[in-house]
């Protein structure tokens, strides 16, 4: 039974909801009902939301597989917290005007670190 991965899935889902409301606010402000209408603020909000939607699912899949393979609870929390922090930092840094580039970059590093470590751990556990 999964007990750790659902925690991070829940937090990432709440982050997605918050970013979705950001898209709605940007569209209302720009009076755009569909798409981005060529508005840079709408594009930025949409990309912040989409970036989370692009990376979080794979991170959660890897986290769930690691949990199913019996990874230590502390390691699962480190991986989950790294993914969550990385995505939150990237979204916040990206969505500010002007962007907070170091925060965005550090969020990307954390995300890629989590994905890489979790991928290698899953492969190693399955093969060895």
The domain that contains 93 carries what CATH number? 1.20.120.550
- The pLDDT mean for the chain works out to 96
Q: How far apart are CA 11 and CA 84, in angstroms?
A: 7
Number of H helices, E strands in the chain: 4, 0
Q: Could you tell me the CA-to-CA distances from 14 to 20, 40, 53, 97 in Å, in that order?
A: 10, 24, 12, 22
What lies within 8 Å, CB to CB, of 124 at 6+ separation is none
**pLDDT tens-digit series, residues 12-41:** 999 999 999 999 999 999 999 888 898 999
Are the CB atoms for 110 and 118 separated by under 8 Å? no
Q: How far apart are CA 71 and CA 85, in angstroms?
A: 20
Q: Could you tell me the CA-to-CA distances from 62 to 19, 35, 69, 118, 121 in Å, in that order?
A: 23, 31, 10, 6, 9
Domain count for the chain: 1
The model's pTM: 0.94
Could you tell me the residue range of the domain that residue 60 belongs to?
Answer: 5-127
**pLDDT tens-digit series, residues 42-68:** 999 999 999 999 999 999 999 999 999
């Amino acid at each position: 039974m999964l007990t750790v991965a659902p925690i991070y899935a829940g937090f990432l889902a709440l982050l997605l909801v918050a970013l979705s409301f950001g898209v709605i606010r940007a569209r209302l402000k720009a009076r755009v009902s569909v798409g981005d209408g060529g508005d840079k603020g709408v594009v930025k909000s949409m990309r912040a939301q989409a970036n989370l939607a692009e990376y979080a699912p794979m991170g959660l899949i890897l986290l769930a597989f690691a949990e199913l393979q019996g990874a230590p609870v502390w390691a699962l929390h480190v991986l989950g917290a790294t993914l969550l922090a990385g995505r939150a930092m990237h979204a916040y840094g990206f969505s500010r005007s002007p962007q907070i580039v170091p925060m965005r970059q550090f969020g990307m590093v954390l995300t890629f670190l989590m994905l890489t470590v979790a991928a290698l751990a899953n492969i190693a556990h399955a093969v060895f």
